[in-house]
């Protein structure tokens, strides 16, 4: 039995609906799926229903944009209560900033005579948690760029004309928020964020796990993080980080996490939930 614990849908910057994501998971024979859209839990209700219909275990999740010592980090929250008022209030703040950021990116594009409108981006994104990939897709759709890569290279990458920084909470706040919502906090793809030096501090702040297996982690990288997980007594997770068709071929199924790690995640969440209930 295998799981994929890192998946995006059209509720952030993926292209699949929750139902399409689940159908792909079923084709790959996965036993459990986690939805981890950026700074939102909007897709979880539909993904849960689709998983129930497909006989797949659903793990509600999110991927919070965070930072530590100036490095951008992504913190995955698993088995969170998606109705938790504190979590929803924080997520709403994130989403307002993301929407304002889209408007600012469009102003900057207009300043370099690229006639995109914010409305075109919002219509295409059709979600509360829009980001740069939606701007890139809108640029292609309007015929202003020929590919997503061109949009990032010319306009959206850091230090390009339309780049606007995203809001990031501190890694410790992200961990705390996930715990408050009864969830388990996991550092996403540390190999992509040069995150080794922040792991001891995050472990101190209550981090529960490390995403050792990820599409962009080599076997050596995965082994390195398995060692660190062991050293800091952290759980091990893994997922494909599939964004549907956004990055070419769908990645779902490319990382198959042995189900025993899901069992450990659930045991940790049960601990967290009883601790949250006592507080
Ligand atoms: P944001 O959170 O709005 O800053 O957007 C980050 C997203 O943009 C991530 O999902 C990245 O994978 C994606 N991204 C960054 N650079 C590129 C690129 N050159 N081509 C396509 N997607 C990219
Ligand atoms: Zn993404
Ligand atoms: Fe990420
Ligand atoms: Fe992701």
Terminal alpha carbon distance of the chain:
35
Residue 279, C-beta contacts closer than 8 angstroms, at least 6 positions apart: none
Residue 176's pLDDT band (boundaries 50, 70, 90)? Answer: very high
Ligand nearest to the CA of 95: 1
DSSP 40: -
| Tens-digit pLDDT profile for residues 10-38 | 999 999 999 999 999 999 999 999 999 99
In the reported structure, the alpha carbon of residue 148 is separated from the centroid of ligand 1 by a whole-number distance in angstroms of 9
Smallest CA separation from ligand 1 atom 17, residue: 152
In the reported structure, the alpha carbon of residue 212 is separated from the centroid of ligand 3 by a whole-number distance in angstroms of 13
Quick check: 69 pLDDT over 90?
A: no
What backbone phi and psi angles, to 5 degrees, belong to 56? Answer: -115, 140
Of 215, 200, 209, the residue nearest 248 (C-alpha): 215
Smallest CA separation from ligand 1 atom 4, residue: 132
The owner of tokens 């408050």 is 180
In the reported structure, the alpha carbon of residue 114 is separated from the centroid of ligand 3 by a whole-number distance in angstroms of 28
What is the DSSP secondary-structure string of 106-169? HHHHHHTT----HHHHHHHH-SSS--HHHHHHHHHHTTS-SSHHHHIIIIISTTSTT--PPP-E
- SS3 call for 253: coil
Smallest CA separation from ligand 1 atom 11, residue: 133
Quick check: 279 pLDDT over 70?
A: no
In the reported structure, the alpha carbon of residue 189 is separated from the centroid of ligand 4 by a whole-number distance in angstroms of 8
Instruction: Give the pTM.
Output: 0.94
Based on the number of CB atoms within 10 Å of its own CB, is 108 exposed (0-12), middle (13-18) or buried (19 or more)?
A: middle
* Residues in contact with ligand 1 (CB, 6 Å cut-off): 13, 38, 131-133, 148-149, 152, 166
Quick check: 278 pLDDT over 90?
A: no
Of 158, 166, 156, 116, the residue nearest 138 (C-alpha): 116
Smallest CA separation from ligand 1 atom 14, residue: 133
């Amino acid at each position: 039995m295998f799981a994929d614990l890192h998946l995006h849908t059209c509720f952030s910057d993926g292209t699949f609906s929750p139902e399409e994501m689940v159908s792909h998971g079923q084709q790959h024979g996965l036993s459990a799926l986690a939805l981890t859209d950026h700074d939102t839990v909007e897709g979880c209700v539909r993904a849960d229903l689709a998983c129930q219909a497909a006989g797949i275990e659903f793990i509600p999740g999110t991927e919070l944009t965070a930072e530590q010592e100036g490095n951008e980090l992504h913190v995955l929250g698993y088995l969170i209560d998606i109705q938790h008022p504190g979590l929803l209030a924080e997520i709403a703040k994130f989403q307002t900033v993301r929407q304002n950021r889209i408007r600012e990116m469009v102003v900057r594009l207009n300043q370099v005579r690229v006639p995109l409108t914010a409305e075109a981006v919002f219509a295409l994104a059709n979600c509360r948690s829009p980001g740069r990939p939606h701007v890139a897709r809108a640029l292609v759709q309007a015929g202003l760029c020929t590919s997503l890569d061109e949009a990032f290279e010319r306009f959206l990458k850091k230090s390009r004309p339309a780049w606007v920084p995203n809001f990031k909470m501190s890694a410790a706040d992200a961990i705390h928020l996930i715990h408050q919502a009864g969830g388990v906090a996991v550092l996403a793809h540390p190999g992509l964020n040069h995150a080794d030096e922040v792991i001891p501090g995050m472990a101190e702040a209550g981090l529960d796990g490390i995403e050792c297996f990820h599409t962009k982690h080599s076997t050596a990288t995965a082994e390195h993080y398995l060692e660190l997980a062991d050293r800091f007594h952290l759980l091990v997770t893994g997922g494909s980080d599939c964004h549907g068709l956004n990055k070419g071929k769908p990645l779902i199924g490319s990382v198959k996490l042995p189900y025993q790690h899901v069992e450990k995640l659930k045991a940790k969440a049960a601990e967290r939930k009883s601790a949250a209930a006592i507080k």
